[in-house]
Structure 1
Amino acid sequence: MRVTVLGAGLAGLSAAVELAGRGVDTVVMEKESCSGGLASTVRRDDFCYDLGPHRFHTLNPELLSFIEDLPGINLLELERVSRIRLLDRYFSYPLSMGNVLSTMPLRQGASMMFSYIGEKVRGLVAKREQDSFEGWVLSRFGRGLYNLYLAPYNRKLWGMEPSALSADWASQRITVPSLGGLVRETLFPSREKVRSLVSSFHYPEGGIGEIAGALEKKLASLGGRVLHSTEPSEIKKTESGWKITHQAGEFFCSSIVNTIPVPDYVALLGELLPPEVHRASRNLKFRALVFLSVLLDRNVPHKDHWIYTSEDRYLFNRLSITRNFHSEIPSQVVFEFSCQPGDTIWNMTGEELLASTVPGAEHLGLFSAHAVKGFDLSRVSHAYPVYDLSYRESASVVLDALDGVEGSVTCGRQGLFRYNNMDHSIEMGLIAAKEVAGEATVREHFSWNENTWADG
């Protein structure tokens, strides 16, 4: 039995390790020159930075042991520090309505509180629609917080109006306060730090990409291999399994585990799937990211791991500070820009992005222009699945059809079109390997309710 895994991200590598550990001849195809996907660490010249801030946390002790037992992994445990910059003030993240009200100037805070209470009263008479991000948020927080932060940030992140986003994005990422709890938190804020699922996290020495590197080493020790810079151009069903055509020739296997973007996988399968599945697949969109790492000649005074910015004065929507993850990593600030391939931000040069970023960095007190030693640029075309109002229907059509393809399993953020976390991706890969063996199924193993993925 030979299994081909498409994509060497965390889901794909985890599936490959589990399969190889069962004695299965396992090969991973990865179009990039290195493994890890979005959970990669870029190492070029003097630069060493993750593609955005990553943290590993899980409530599953077996999954934690799986990572800790990988060769060469040394996990640090860090207390998470992340904030939102707004109105020249810092607010806690995950966003807390009580923190917003207590940090705001009294007049603005009171206005926001009345907006919140007014929305609760309004809901007793006529409930808002709950299908869109806008309706979901307004009904739970009021227009004050929505207009101040939640709408501008998500408009910037997704490049579309919040009214066109599915409520699923809100329900999976935002914690809703009770009115009583909100009043208590506002009037009598606790001095103790409340621990939550994400108040602390694990981070590997050397960068988040060390996890993918360790998975690849484990795979090699089990007899598996990764073919980098290898991209399939066609996949055909054969009597005994599959024929995968790529730039260097043909590859035959009995089963496929897919973790590449599901629209790309559907296109590769071609006529094996009916036209309506291809149409639905083309409706599934991804948001791209550009990363600008700025190398500095000094440390950044802020202790944050990452900071969110919603205001138009900042072209970037988030930044991370490398040395706050691991002190041995060179001092850099990594800025993230949400965009689409081919748009203005995507096509900007590093010099142009740096020129647009330095004034914002100076305003935030991060660094000044003369502290910059250099910069590095990375682009990711398929970063976030876009939860528009039609995504659920389109995804169901595609995934239901793929469930019916014998010898094929799809998983991971891109493969399932699901905004999941690192631990979910790893666990999905392990379950996908069991699905190949007929022991479980990925979509049945995970509960697709709104709380499964909510981590703040």
Structure 2
Amino acid sequence: MRTIDTDTLIIGAGPAGMACAIALAKEGRRFIIVEAQGQVGGLAKTMVFEEDGLVFRTDQGPHRFFSKNHALYDFIETLLQDRWMTVQRSTRQYIDGKFYDYPVHFFQALRNVGMMRALRMGVDYFLAKIQYGWRGKPIENFADYIYAHFGKTLGEFNMINYTEKIWGIPASTIHKDWAGQRIRGLNVRTLLKDALARLMGKKQKDGVKTLVDTFYYPELGTGLIYETIEQRLRARGYEIFLNAFPRAIRHEDARIKEAVIRQGEEEFVVRFNELVESIPLPRFFHLLDPPPPLPLLTHAGHLRHRSQVYVFLTLDKDSVTNDQWIYFPNKGIPIGRISEMKNFSAKMAPPGKTSLFIEYFCFEGDARWKMADAALFEETVAWLARLHFIARADVRHYYVMRQKDVYPLYDVAYEHHLKPLKEFLNSFPNLYYIGRPGRFHYNNQDHSLEMGFAAARSILLGYREDFDAIGEEKEYYEKGSLRKERKDVDK
């Protein structure tokens, strides 16, 4: 078995791993990258499908870039140059047979829900303020958080049901941290303030423009960021092993020493000074050699992920909607979300053609996960036809993909199990576990990039940054700022 010696081993070529790599490369550090999939980008990769000379591209779900960290904009603008553009957001929710714009347009929402239901929403919100505010009922789970901030009727209108659809468990068993991750700072007051500001054509007083209106996007898909990094690294002679994965992570004397990597039929050993990895955290514990104490393996076994099944349809029509993506909160519709990639960038589909990327939420190994590809296609097309999006005759080809470990599951007990695992990992001074899977922490693309850069700084400067603080801004997660000097580019 051959052995490779390097300064740093990076396992995982997603946003976090690739950001760390490009930062280390800038300083001339030695490293190699190991990636289990056949391309870089992780959950932010862009897939390419060629059909009779026509090229269709799709991300793995809708990815738009927004951040409060202007250094990230500088980095990507330098990397992509004019292949980086701004897009006006168009997003809707389909609820009870009606479309609702999101962000909320006040009169449209009022007209759709009706006056009586709107009054019930108002009364429930007032009662919730009494129950959770004046009477001091504690917020113990996600359902409590939603009821406290929106009232029961509004909360169950789209937030409770869509969240339960994503996670596959009751909202009362989901940790309140999930609300902190996704909708921190969002409530009825902020929704009304935003809706009224839109109605009056006003901007926020602080000059910050929320990216629920506008976002950045690479012209050939979000994966272009990581493909460009890959090209630059390979041009400088760095090795990136694709379709390769760790079989064992060996440690001794409180340091991670080496990893056994398998690529195809070959196994080889990588010895290193530092390990940067974004392996799903529960899986990482089962790779450690010698194994960690049994209680830690038990804790790791209690951490779960939600997975997804995707159906990508290429279509013989110019357009389906004007939306980048549409949510389906109602549980009676099995589809979770659809994206029309052409509405992100015209270069995601050939002229006169379009595509739809359809997402289903599931657990690895459940009925949805095991469903035959042909059956998934038939069910998907039947629902899209029933909802008047497309006809079966519009479909050119279909592709089915399955992705494990997409969302770390924040059940009410997750924190109890996660804390001792992180304490154990933190005992290794040369280990940097980063990214959404590595830290079992839901974050966005920009936060994963920040973690990668933070890992590189920690290695280069000899101190450990606070990774838990990344992405903990105390406001609605879709807030960010746009560079005012940039101009919008037509989709």
Q: Does the pair score TM above 0.5?
A: yes
Residue range with higher mean Cα deviation, 121-130 or 184-193: 184-193
1:13 aligns with one of 14, 18, 22 = 18
User: 2-side partners of 1:91 and 1:59: how far apart?
Assistant: 28
Gaps of 5+ in 2: 1-5, 204-208, 480-491
Indicate how the Cα distance of structure 1 residues 445 and 69 shifts in structure 2: closer, same or farther if over 3 A, else same: farther
Matched, 1:129 2:138: yes
| Mean Cα deviation higher: 330-339 or 15-24 | 15-24
CA distance in 2, matches of 1:183, 1:444: 34
Shift of 1:132: 0.4
Aligned to 2:295: 276
Q: CA RMSD in A?
A: 2.5
Residue by residue over 1:120-143, the C-alpha shift from the partner in whole angstroms, topping out at 9 and shown as x without a partner, is: 233344233312001111111111
Partner-residue secondary structure (3-state), 2:42: coil
Match of 1:256 in 2: 275
CA positional deviation for 1:150: 1.7
Structure-to-structure mapping, 1:332-351, within 5 angstroms: 332-351=355-374
**Within 1, Cα distance between the matches of 2:29 and 2:197?**
59
Aligned residue identity for 1:242: K
Aligned to 1:245: 260
For structure 1, which runs of at least 5 residues remain unmatched after alignment?
A: none
Is residue 424 of structure 2 the alignment partner of residue 401 of structure 1? yes
Pair 1:137–1:445, CA change in 2 (3 A): closer
Provide the rounded CA distance (Å) in 1 between the counterparts of 2:259 and 2:188: 53
Matched, 1:355 2:378: yes
Equivalent pairs counted in the alignment come to: 455
The residue matched to 1:451 in structure 2 has which SS? coil
Q: Which residue of 1 aligns with 2:243?
A: 229
Residue 344 of structure 2 aligns to which amino acid in structure 1? F
Q: TM-score, normalised by structure 2?
A: 0.86
Give 1:284-299 correspondences, 5 Å limit: 284-299=303-318
Q: CA deviation at 1:419?
A: 0.9
Structure 1 residue 358: deviation in Å? 2.0
Query: Could you report, residue by residue, the CA deviation over 1:220-257 in whole angstroms, capped at 9, with x for unpaired residues?
Result: 23432210111111111258962211222222111100
Q: Which residue does the alignment assign to 1:69? A: 78
1:273 aligned partner, one-letter code: P
Q: Which amino acid aligns with 2:299?
A: A
Alignment partners' CA distance in 2, 1:402 and 1:96: 46
Aligned position for 1:83? 92
Amino acid at match of 2:229: L
1:374 to 397, 400, 404: 397
Whether the 8 Å CA contact 1:101–1:186 is kept in 2: the answer is: no
- Preserved CA contact (<8 Å) 1:243 1:250: yes
Measured in 2, the distance between the counterparts of 1:441 and 1:254 equals 15
Query: Are residues 1:302 and 2:315 paired?
Result: no
Per-residue deviation at 1:314?
1.9
Tell me what 1:177 maps to: 187
Q: Is the 8 A contact 2:181 2:442 kept in 1?
A: no
Q: What is the TM-score when the length of structure 1 is the normalising length?
A: 0.92
- The alignment status of 1:323 with 2:348, answered yes or no, reads no
Of the structure 1 ranges 75-84 and 96-105, higher mean CA displacement relative to structure 2 is found in 96-105
**Do 2:181 and 2:443's aligned partners in 1 also have CA atoms closer than 8 Å?**
no
Q: Is residue 38 of structure 1 aligned with residue 43 of structure 2?
A: yes
**Conservation of the 8 A alpha-carbon contact between 2:451 and 2:470:** no
AA at the equivalent of 1:163: S
SS at structure 2 position matched to 1:70: helix
Which one is further off, 97-106 or 305-314? 97-106
| Counterpart check, 1:119 vs 2:128 | yes
C-alpha contact (below 8 Å) 2:8/2:32 kept by paired residues: yes
- Rounded to whole Å, the distance in 2 between the matches of 1:337 and 1:168 is 23
